[in-house]
Amino acid sequence: MNNTAPDRYTGRFAPSPSGPLHFGSLIAALGSYLQARSQSGQWLVRIEDLDPPREVPGAADDILRTLDAFGLHWDGELVYQSRRHDRYQEILDSWAADELTYHCHCTRKQITAAGGLYSGHCRELNLPAHNAAVRLKMTAPVYGFRDRLQGTVKVAAALAEEDFIVRRRDGFYAYNLAVVIDDMDAGITEVVRGADLLEPTARQIALYRLLKAHEPGWLHLPLAMFQGHKLSKQNHAPALDKKTPGNALWQALSFLGQQPPSQLFGAGAEELLSWAVPNWHLNKVPPGPQIALNYADSSHFQRPALS
């Protein structure tokens, strides 16, 4: 694997097609876009369609139309994880040949009953592959890392040392495996995403090191919270309005601490982004992992008082 640092900034946005983009999604998309464009870097888009049972028909195309309506135009070809299964299996086969993985028949119910973390029960049993998950032997755990916004992040030893799943018992590849291979192959230099993904980062760093690949930087943006819950598809966050992108973009810039001029509220997406790229300052982004909102969806965005 290539452990040489790329000479050009490359970032990405990687939504899952489990529903439309909402304001919380926009925070991650916009933050990663501005971090890349402010450094004259590339911004890639990858559709993380690893889990067909959770996918909503038409969601991937709707996500792409929304990005386009919001002026968030990506570089290069779109990547779909569903088309990269051979690549993931190639890595798993190499690890199996080196005896770095094993088959596990433990159910989620059994693991929960035992305390919630996997004990390594199946590690030395040499169980058959049928109806089994594949776990990675965690021989070099990562107990913490440095995040550009959240600072030093520490991980509990029991979690860091757990042999985690890299392919599920239903045959689908695990998120941690796929995202690392995809980012490695794309030459991603910095991962910018929501703070809800802080916890799996240590595992992903362990995979980079196992693969002897260059590790990207990490930047986890604050999550948009409403009435004590993260804005998410699971919590039925309303879809972004493609007809009025300027309202949500202005609010997203404000959420990220960038203080856009009040005169730009409701302006076109391209005009807002033309202001945002040269005025993007990471040191203005609130460092906490969560920020409470006073509105539930973009239809409630109010025009700010003119200063």
Give the residue ranges of the annotated binding site.
12-16, 48, 104, 106, 118, 122, 175, 193, 233
Residues of 210-224 as b/e, b for ≥16 C-beta within 10 angstroms?
Answer: bbebbbbbbbbbbbb
Backbone angles phi, psi at 49, to 5 degrees: -95, 60
* Rounded distance between C-alpha atoms, residue 253 and residue 242, angstroms: 17
Q: Please give the annotated binding residues for Zn(2+), written as ranges.
A: 104, 106, 118, 122
Residues of 119-135 as b/e, b for ≥16 C-beta within 10 angstroms?
Answer: ebebeeeeeeeeebbbb
Q: Please give the annotated binding residues for L-glutamate, written as ranges.
A: 12-16, 48, 175, 193
**Beta-strand (E) ranges in 53-180?**
79-80, 101-104, 133-136, 144-147, 151-154, 165-167
Q: Please give the annotated binding residues for ATP, written as ranges.
A: 233
- Asked if 30 and 260 count as a contact pair (C-beta separation under 8 A), the reply is no
Tokens, residue 243: 């007809």
* Rounded distance between C-alpha atoms, residue 183 and residue 215, angstroms: 9
Return the SS3 of 193.
strand
